[in-house]
Amino acid sequence: MAGTRQLRARHLGIGLVAVLLFTVAGPLRTWFAQGAYLGSHSLTLGDNTPGATTNYLLSIAGQSGGTVGSIRLQICANDPLVGRPCTPPPGFSFSGATLINQTGITDFSIDTADSTANELVLTHPAAVAPSGTATYELSGVVNPTSIGTFYGRIVTYASTDGTGAIVDRGGLALATNGGVGISTYVPPYLLFCTGTTIQPYDCSTADGDYIDFGNFTSTKTSTGQTKLLASTNADTGYTIRAVGGTLTSGNNVIPALTTPDVSRIGVSQFGINLRSNTTPNTGSDVQGPGSGGVAPGYDTANFYQFNSGDVIAESALPDDYRMYTATYITNVSKDQAPGVYVSTLTYICLANF
Amino acid sequence: MNRIRNLLRRPLAVASAVAILLGSAAPALLATSAHAAIEQTPARSISMSDSTPGATNVVYALTLTLPNPAKSFVLDFCGESPIIGGDCQITTPTNTSTTIDASGATYSSTAPANMTPGQLPTSTGTPGSAATGWSLGSASAATIKMTSTTATTANGTYTFYFSGIKNPTTTGSFYARFYAYGDATYGSTFTDADIPVAHAYTPAAVPGSSPSQNPGTYVDYGGFALSTATNVNITAVVMETINFCVSQAAPSPSCAGVTSPTLTLGHGTPLALDAGAVDTATAYTQLSTNALNGAVISLKTTNSTTCAGLQRDGTCTSSSGIPPIGGYGAMTAGTAAFGLSVDDSVAAAGLTASPGSTVHAVSTTNNLFPDVYGTTTANPGSYAMNTTGANTGVLSTYGDPIAYATAACKSMNNLLTYAATASPTTPAGVYSTTEALIATGTF
């Protein structure tokens, strides 16, 4: 009994398969009956982002050599088989497409009357198809809006309107995806340090914050130096200001140079600049790969000044390392009151993000 | 495939089987009296290289065991039956377009090229021996006569190949009759104790008469049934396919396990890029396609037509970006750059099917394209982000090829390593880009 059931089931199965095969065979035979299969063919997307409006480059090689008057490019969601029902991919559109380039036979144009949103017919006066590669570039094509595979069907016809006898046919598969999103964060930074010595561009080596001029004399200029190292990725760079007072000893003052002036031995004066000087022979020009510079008033060799709060150096852009050398000069007159003259200068570097 | 092969073999097998069956029954049906020494060939078959009705240039392979030594034989094709002495109207065709035509037959002792091993005349695919000294005596529409200078060995098994035969154009059975003779002249001279008087094979005096011929004094005989059958046409459609995905995690076969490819470059917490290091992040592509001519994966910057690097806050000016590194080369920390390296593909973990073609990185050694994005061996620290070339570069219309396959492939994963570093002057901010990875199959 069981054997009989199995036999019946088997026969039923064979019957179903037969029905299925015959059901499928009709459309398949129709498909096989149409035209020759194209040689190498491809459809390249300028952008495979879902919904993107982009260029499509159709490349066809290995045509059978028959007379071709039109090419139909059909885009389907279901399969690439010519002659079978085509489900348009959601969102896809040839409606705004323009034929912008072509090679091979180059007199094709878009047959708008026979084109639809997902079918584009290119037409030209019927001629023998080229044996080599022909390309047709379209702009303004809108991709399907969903990620995944969709299909193209390429058919060439002897007629000029994409109907009638098929000369060649081919299918292809395409894919949309979302691409790769890449991001990174560059944090703001301001590097600034001071010292009597700093090894090139390394704030960890900054050392010393005290300058001893020794004994002032009216016959010689006293000098001292401070190194300033700055760098920032602030959009509008940085400014360095010198804040403090001139040298004083109680009520006795060595006047600061409020306007740029040269060093005058025997005249009480205090000033700074950030250049390499010869009178006296001291200081260094700015160094380093950055582009920051010395501010006006402090940028002329052998001329010095000091106004508290002045910008002494600056950069208007993000700037790589810059090593500035602030040079102090002090002269005293013969009648400069004796005493211990002291000043405290604060350098403030401000980045402008 | 086996089913298809079996299906194709079936007509041949049936032809052979029926031949043997009818041949076995023939002695009981014979109308003519047989000599005591005359024997039916105990094993015999005719294999056809093609059973299509009306097929031309068909090979008929006659295999038989001959109990008695023979120096000639006749093979008659008949429409009615294999029974010797019965009607054999097909031997005198009035319309050769619908009947067998062996007039163009040629003989060979070895299998012609158009008879494949599966069509050879035994179930094992091993034919009988090649008989020595045999040649074609004559061939007419339905009669083939063979003669030899050397007699066959008693009980020897031989195969004779006849090419150039046209099958009957109608579908169904037809028959053959075989007579072997002890002499080389179809029985005209051979006598022995059992055959005291020699009689030669003689075709019917009147074409179309019944019986159609006198087979003469043969020493061995046999009958065959053959059949033509309409070919089974089998068609199948293999659709063009391409399955392409991009994932941060390595995809499993068929793009399973894909994760969003949103990459953040940097180090520390939170992740940040600075001039002190080259930071990397990885993603994968997976490509499967049956494209005959392979496929190309191209990289294209989609959020700008002018900036191939990382752009800050969605803007792109010459002073506010991390620039593309350009051609393939080392990336140095502190020199702002953005690039990509690509490894040759490996099959997705767990793939059981053959992966097919490798998806090569466009590299120094596998390079069908202008630019380079990798090497066949690991070369950490080198990257590319090409922007040059009229039709290449990540800013071009169709992007820059970064990997390619030359044939179909299955679930091949390519590792993409994106890298970037900032310079001391790289403005602070959030930098980003979106890169389309485009797979194009050439079918």
What's chain B's average pLDDT? Answer: 83
Residue A143 pLDDT level (bands cut at 50, 70, 90): very high
Q: How does DSSP classify residue A334?
A: T
| Interchain CB distance below 8 Å, A47 and B436 | yes
Q: Given this model, what pLDDT does residue B164 score?
A: 96
Q: Given this model, what pLDDT does residue B232 score?
A: 79
Q: What angle do CA B348, B349, B351 make, to 5 degrees?
A: 70
Q: Distance from first CA to last CA of chain A, Å, rounded? A: 90
Q: How far is A125 from chain B (nearest CA, A)?
A: 27
What's chain A's average pLDDT? Answer: 91
**By C-alpha distance, which of B30, B34, B26, B60 is closest to B46?**
B60
What's the gap between Cα A318 and its chain centre?
18
Instruction: Give the best residue of B397, B418, B426 to mutate against chain A (max A CB count within 10 A).
Output: B397
**By C-alpha distance, which of B277, B288, B384 is closest to B339?**
B384
How far apart (Å, rounded) are the C-alpha atoms in residues A299 and A297? 6
Strand-pairing partners, residue A322, are A230
Is residue A132 within 8 A of residue A61, CB to CB? The reply is yes
How far apart (Å, rounded) are the C-alpha atoms in residues A271 and A299? 12
pLDDT in tens, A36-84: 889 899 999 999 999 999 999 999 998 998 899 999 999 999 999 998 9
Q: What percent of chain A has pLDDT over 70?
A: 90
Q: What is the CATH number of domain B2-228?
A: 2.60.40.290
Edge-to-edge order in the sheet of strand A134-142: A41-45, A53-60, A134-142, A98-103
Residue A20 pLDDT level (bands cut at 50, 70, 90): very low
| Interchain CB distance below 8 Å, B310 and A173 | no
Q: pTM score, two decimals?
A: 0.70
Nearest CA in chain B to A188: B428
| Interchain CB distance below 8 Å, A181 and B319 | no
Q: What tokens appear for B348 in the block?
A: 């997705």
SS (H, E, C) chain B: CHHHHHHHHHHHHHHHHHHHHHHHHHHHHCCCCCCCCCEECCCEEEEECCCCCCCCCEEEEEEEEECCCCCEEEEEEECCCCCCCCCCHHHCCCCCCCCCECCCCEEECCCCCCCCHHHCCCCCCCCCECCCCEEEEEECCCEEEEEECCCCCCCEEEEEEEEEEECCCCCEEEEEEEEEECCCCCCCCCCCCCCCCCCCCEECCCCCCCCCEECCCCCEEEEEEEEECCCCCCCCCCCCCEEEEEECCCCEHHHECCCCCEEEECECCCCECCCCCCEEEEEEEEEEECCCCCEEEEEEECCCCCCCCEEECCECCCCCEECECEEEEECCCCCCEEEEEECCCEECCCCCCCCECCCEECECCCCCCCCCCECCCCCCCEEEECCCCCCCCCCCCCCEEEEEECCCEEEEEEEEEEEEECCCCCCCEEEEEEEEEEEEECC
Helix, strand, or coil (residue A20): helix
Q: What percent of chain A has pLDDT over 90?
A: 86
**Residue among B237, B271, B399 whose CB faces A185 most closely:** B271
Give yes or no for residue A4 having a pLDDT over 80. Answer: no
CA of B354: how far to CAs of B1, B348, B349, B443, in Å? 18, 11, 12, 20
Domain ranges of chain B: 2-228, 242-441
How far apart (Å, rounded) are the C-alpha atoms in residues A51 and A93? 9
Nearest CA in chain B to A48: B438
| Interchain CB distance below 8 Å, B425 and A317 | yes
Q: How many Cβ atoms sit within 10 Å of the Cβ of residue B278? A: 22
Q: What tokens appear for B211 in the block?
A: 């019986």
Q: How does DSSP classify residue A159?
A: S
Torsion of CA B243, B244, B250, B256, to 10 degrees: -40
Helix, strand, or coil (residue A42): strand
**Residue among A28, A59, A172 whose CB faces B240 most closely:** A172
Instruction: Give the best residue of A137, A182, A320 to mutate against chain B (max B CB count within 10 A).
Output: A182
Which residues in chain A touch residue B433, judged by CB atoms under 8 angstroms apart? 181-183
Which residues in chain B touch residue A41, judged by CB atoms under 8 angstroms apart? 442-443
**Residue among A172, A179, A353 whose CB faces B443 most closely:** A172
**By C-alpha distance, which of A61, A73, A58, A31 is closest to A157?**
A73
| Interchain CB distance below 8 Å, A186 and B292 | no
Which residues in chain A touch residue B437, judged by CB atoms under 8 angstroms apart? 48, 177, 179-180
Per the rule left: phi > 0, alpha: psi between -120 and 50, beta: everything else, A62 is left
Q: Which residue do the tokens 């000069």 mark?
A: A329
Q: Given this model, what pLDDT does residue B165 score?
A: 95
pLDDT in tens, A83-135: 899 999 999 999 999 999 999 989 999 999 999 999 999 999 999 998 899 99
Give yes or no for residue A17 having a pLDDT over 50. Answer: no
**By C-alpha distance, which of B333, B336, B276, B332 is closest to B310?**
B336
Choose between B306 and A21: higher pLDDT. Answer: B306
Residues 6+ apart with CB under 8 A from B285: B244, B245, B246, B247, B297, B359, B403, B413, B414, B416, B437, B439
- Which of A162-171, A263-272, B1-10, B211-220 has the lowest average pLDDT? B1-10
Burial of A246 (0-12, 13-18, 19+ CB in 10 A): buried
How far apart (Å, rounded) are the C-alpha atoms in residues B131 and B286? 61
Q: How far is A288 from chain B (nearest CA, A)?
A: 12
Fill in the amino acid letter for A328: Y
Q: Delineate the domains of chain A, giving CATH numbers in brackets.
A: 35-176 (2.60.40.10), 190-351 (2.60.40)
| Interchain CB distance below 8 Å, B425 and A46 | no
| Interchain CB distance below 8 Å, B431 and A184 | yes
Residues of chain B with pLDDT under 70: 1-37, 89-98, 117-118, 121-126, 204-213, 316-320, 366-367, 376-379, 389-391
Q: Which residue do the tokens 């054999």 mark?
A: B88
Nearest CA in chain A to B423: A320
Nearest CA in chain B to A238: B425
How far apart (Å, rounded) are the C-alpha atoms in residues A325 and A36? 82
Q: What angle do CA B57, B62, B65 make, to 5 degrees?
A: 170
| Interchain CB distance below 8 Å, A183 and B265 | yes
pLDDT in tens, A172-231: 999 999 889 999 999 999 999 999 999 999 999 999 999 999 999 999 999 999 999 999
Q: Given this model, what pLDDT does residue B122 score?
A: 62
Nearest CA in chain B to A190: B424
| Interchain CB distance below 8 Å, B244 and A177 | yes
Is residue B64 within 8 A of residue B102, CB to CB? The reply is no
Strand-pairing partners, residue A79, are none
Residues 6+ apart with CB under 8 A from A243: A308, A309, A345, A346, A347, A348
Q: Which residue do the tokens 């008989």 mark?
A: B131
**Residue among A41, A175, A233 whose CB faces B243 most closely:** A175
Q: How far is A25 from chain B (nearest CA, A)?
A: 8
Nearest CA in chain B to A174: B242
Instruction: Give the best residue of B7, B240, B259 to mutate against chain A (max A CB count within 10 A).
Output: B240
**Residue among B239, B312, B440 whose CB faces A42 most closely:** B440
Q: How far is A40 from chain B (nearest CA, A)?
A: 6
Nearest CA in chain B to A236: B427
**Residue among B263, B425, B436 whose CB faces A48 most closely:** B436
Q: Given this model, what pLDDT does residue B17 score?
A: 37
* Number of cross-chain residue pairs from A and B with Cβ atoms under 8 Å apart: 199
Q: How far is A103 from chain B (nearest CA, A)?
A: 15
Instruction: Give the best residue of A186, A235, A236, A322 to mutate against chain B (max B CB count within 10 A).
Output: A186
| Interchain CB distance below 8 Å, B239 and A43 | no
Fill in the amino acid letter for A76: C
